[in-house]
Amino acid sequence: MLRQILSEMYIDPDLLAELSEEQKQILFFKMREEQIRRWKEREAAMERKESLPVKSRPKKENGKSVHWKLGADKEVWVWVMGEHHLDKPYDVLCSEITAERERLRTEQEAEELRKTQSEEFTNNLKTKSQCSDPQTPNNWKTQNACKKVAEEEEVRQESRSARILEEKKTQKKELVKEKQDEEIKQVEEDKTKQIYKNWKEDSEWQASLRKSKAADEKRRSLAKQAREDYKRLSLAAQRGRSGEGLSVPQKPRRPPLPPKPQFLPPAGHPPKPLGNQGVTRTASSSAQEDIIRWFKEEQLPCRAGYQKTSDSIAPWFHGILTLKKANELLSTGLPGTFLIRVSEKMKGYALSYLSEEGCKHFLIDASADSYSFLGVDQLQHATLADLVEYHKEEPITSLGKELLLYPCGQQEQPPDYLELFE
């Protein structure tokens, strides 16, 4: 079918109307390629013919020749239908051609109907004249023939009227169907334009979403690699112990308690006692007492709050602070300032971070003999100091890019973590 169309360079409009827009574009592209190919072949043939030695022929006085019209670039001027702003769209041209063909067909049918009616009218007049002529022989036979002709004429008139009504109904249905198809096509075009517009407007959001997904995928791969490395190292350690003939303990031994930090009083102030002599707690402080007991019994043996390489308290560590107090301490710092405080409502920690948008707070889970942010597939760290050191180079979240740059130290004396180490 395609070869036939390209060879004839013509396609029937009814067949063209059944093609989709993409198929029409492909067909026009193929036809244009075929035109260019033929033109190149013709040019090559003409060049070969001109290169051959030809006897000079005398030019005729009325000889005809073809000259190509040149454009502003001195090249052959080519006009592509549809590129100029005054060119009619393809749909409009097809509808005009279809309407013109329909008009011609209607005129032809009307002319044929007029001829048929005139012939029938002439025959009826002849028959009536014969029936009314008294000198016509066999008058009774003629009258019967006239009646038969009149009955046939009535039947033809009724069938003609029914056919005309049927044609009118069919035309009306076709018009309604064409109108509905045009409306559906317009609605689909509007939807396509709206979808393209929304896609174009959301291109930046799509780009940021792709970056976020890539960062999340990288974080998951790092976490998976860290878990595999930890598992591999654990298995290697167990095999080493079993090779030496030692029994593998079910639970690792905790390191000894570090010495209590010494706090020097500020100059000009008498030292305050470290105990809680004379201080009575109310019933509302029972939850805080449980948190303090949890910290002393479970977290101190894990060196929670201490620096990684010394027995001194880390500058970023604070005691039991409220959310409001943490915001006040961070408000005087630069973006990137952070602190880790003991949560006042649960057995765990909270990392408070000052970003350019404001203060952010991340909960730290310490329930599995390791430290990690609450969430799925989070990295596990042996100590709080390891968690801080890791996130000095790696952001907490891929979108926020929170790097722990500046620790927020103590701004009052005695320090707020004093009751945890008593």
| pLDDT, tens digit (0-9, with 9 covering 90-100), for 293-325 | 888 888 888 888 888 888 888 999 999 888 899
Pick from 32-46, 101-115, 249-263, 391-405: least confident? 249-263
Mean pLDDT (whole number) for 84-105: 86
Cα 66 to Cα 63, 69, 292, 311: the distances in Å are: 10, 10, 103, 101
The predicted structure's pLDDT at residue 235 = 74
For residue 129, pLDDT over 70 is answered with no
Maximum alpha-carbon separation in the chain: 159
User: What is the rounded distance in angstroms from the CA atom of residue 296 to the CA atom of residue 304?
Assistant: 10
Residue 354: band (very low, low, confident or very high) from pLDDT cuts 50, 70, 90: very high
Residue 6: band (very low, low, confident or very high) from pLDDT cuts 50, 70, 90: low
The predicted structure's pLDDT at residue 340 = 94
> How far apart, in Å, do the first and last CA atoms of the chain sit?
94
Mean pLDDT (whole number) for 26-30: 85
The predicted structure's pLDDT at residue 128 = 62
The predicted structure's pLDDT at residue 116 = 83
User: What is the rounded distance in angstroms from the CA atom of residue 59 to the CA atom of residue 262?
Assistant: 120
Residue 248: band (very low, low, confident or very high) from pLDDT cuts 50, 70, 90: very low
Q: Please report where in the chains the tokens 């449980």 appear, as a residue.
A: 290
For residue 244, pLDDT over 70 is answered with no
Q: What mean pLDDT, rounded, does the chain reach?
A: 78
User: Which residue type does 5 have?
Assistant: I
Q: What percent of the chain has pLDDT over 90?
A: 10
For residue 331, pLDDT over 80 is answered with yes
The predicted structure's pLDDT at residue 276 = 40
Pick from 51-55, 185-189, 287-291, 305-309: least confident? 51-55
pLDDT: is 198 or 108 the higher one?
108
The predicted structure's pLDDT at residue 250 = 44
Residue 275: band (very low, low, confident or very high) from pLDDT cuts 50, 70, 90: very low
Residue 27: band (very low, low, confident or very high) from pLDDT cuts 50, 70, 90: confident
Pick from 1-10, 165-174, 326-335: least confident? 1-10
The predicted structure's pLDDT at residue 258 = 54
For residue 246, pLDDT over 60 is answered with no
Residue 57: band (very low, low, confident or very high) from pLDDT cuts 50, 70, 90: low
For residue 227, pLDDT over 50 is answered with yes
Q: pTM of the prediction?
A: 0.36
For residue 247, pLDDT over 50 is answered with no
CA torsion sign for 409, 412, 418, 419 is negative
The predicted structure's pLDDT at residue 77 = 84
Q: Which residues of 153-181 are buried (b: 16+ CB within 10 A; e: fewer)?
A: eeeeeeeeeeeeeeeeeeeeeeeeeeeee
Q: What percent of the chain has pLDDT over 70?
A: 78
Mean pLDDT (whole number) for 228-233: 77
pLDDT: is 408 or 400 the higher one?
408
The predicted structure's pLDDT at residue 253 = 47
The predicted structure's pLDDT at residue 207 = 80
For residue 234, pLDDT over 50 is answered with yes
Pick from 199-203, 253-257, 277-281: least confident? 277-281
